[in-house]
Structure 1
Amino acid sequence: MTSSHWILIAVLAMAAFAIRVIGLFAGDAIRASRFAWILDDLPGLIVVSLVASSLAGQPLITWVAAAAALIAALLTNHVIATMCIGFAAYAALGWFGV
């Protein structure tokens, strides 16, 4: 490899490290501010945004299975049960040709 390759690798490594350090300092700053409540809700918000974006443009069978999984999550508050019920609903709806 040439020296330009090594320079590129070094710059990318420093950038990756800087991103993590900046995130660490930003997280500490947010934790010490009046916006600390955002960090408590952030994991759930990320999951909801991922699910919502993955449901966009999907057929009705996927939406019905997602609704079944949501109901299971509300009733059981159990991740594995929610996944199993959502999968079973999707499989059953697919089996019956809905």
Structure 2
Amino acid sequence: MRTVLFLTLAAFGAFSTYVMWQVGYLGIWQAGMASLGAWQVLLDLVLMSCIALGFLWQDAQRSGRTWWPFALLTLAAGSFGPLLYLLLQPSGAARNPRPATAS
């Protein structure tokens, strides 16, 4: 799974770098607001980023990981935050989760 995550991050990172070089950060947002169809895609991506942040937060609480750097990265760069969170997951995290505490 780490290989797939790494390849996805590398390919998407290279493509994103190229796009950023061509149109800039603001150019990406302007393209996302160019038409109603583009607004739909942009809002869908924002919604999915918010859902991903919820899952990251819950998983970080359960596993004792820090989540805020990944949250900031998600807010600034979309799927790079969740991809890195999954890629940098400790090897034994899935097998030895920390019990949830009542709050």
TM-score by length of 1: 0.30
- Does 1 or 2 have the higher relative contact order (CA < 8 Å, sep 6+)? 2
More helix by share: 1
TM-score by length of 2: 0.29
Structure number with larger C-alpha Rg: 1
